[in-house]
């Protein structure tokens, strides 16, 4: 017994002027939703770097103040590194990874996993750095909108890469 064979050509169309076309695979397109989520998260994180992070006894403390406090040579290594330059590198990497995760390409799948991991890693390092600067207090005691904005911004930016390219 022989197996059924596919016809060599498509059958003639029963409708004049109508041509049957072979099915095409779905095209991947840039993921607009993921890109928008990424940009919104990045803007939130950037706003968090400009806003006050703490308000203690009527004194407002922002990222610049924390960076200045960790600049001396006697500062602990993690806060000194994180607030000196690592925060900006992680923010840039998270934004780039999340945006590229939404563009069709060979690295799209890898970046869809990497971007949220970068966002979470950034928050963990932020909280660990702040924890080394606090004594007997939570990093969230006296926290204001700036700290919350950068934490939420990092998470949302990383999450923006999860959407990936749009399949149509």
Per-residue pLDDT of the chain (168 residues; tens, 9 = 90+): 666 666 666 666 666 666 666 767 667 788 999 999 999 999 999 999 999 999 999 999 999 999 999 988 778 999 999 999 999 999 999 999 999 999 999 999 999 999 999 999 999 999 999 999 988 889 999 999 999 999 999 999 999 999 998 776
132 SS3 class: helix
**Hey, where are the domains in the chain?**
28-167
- Buried b / exposed e over 53-91, threshold 16 CB at 10 Å, is bbeeeeeebbbeebbeebeeeebeebbbebbeebbeebb
pTM for the model stands at 0.81
């Amino acid at each position: 017994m022989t197996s059924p064979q596919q016809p060599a050509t498509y059958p003639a169309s029963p409708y004049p002027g109508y041509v049957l076309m072979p099915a095409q695979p779905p095209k991947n397109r840039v993921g607009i939703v993921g890109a928008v989520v990424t940009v919104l998260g990045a803007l939130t994180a950037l706003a968090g770097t400009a806003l006050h992070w703490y308000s203690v006894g009527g004194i407002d403390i922002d990222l610049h103040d924390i960076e200045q406090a960790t600049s001396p040579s006697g500062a602990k290594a993690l806060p000194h590194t994180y607030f000196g330059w690592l925060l900006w590198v992680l923010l840039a990497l998270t934004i780039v990874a999340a945006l590229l995760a939404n563009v069709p390409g060979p690295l799209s799948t890898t970046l869809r996993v990497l971007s949220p991991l970068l966002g979470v890693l950034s928050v963990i390092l932020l909280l660990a750095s702040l924890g080394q600067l606090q004594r007997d207090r939570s990093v969230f005691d006296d926290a204001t909108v700036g700290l919350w904005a950068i934490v939420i911004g990092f998470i949302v930016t990383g999450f923006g890469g999860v959407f990936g390219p749009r399949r149509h």
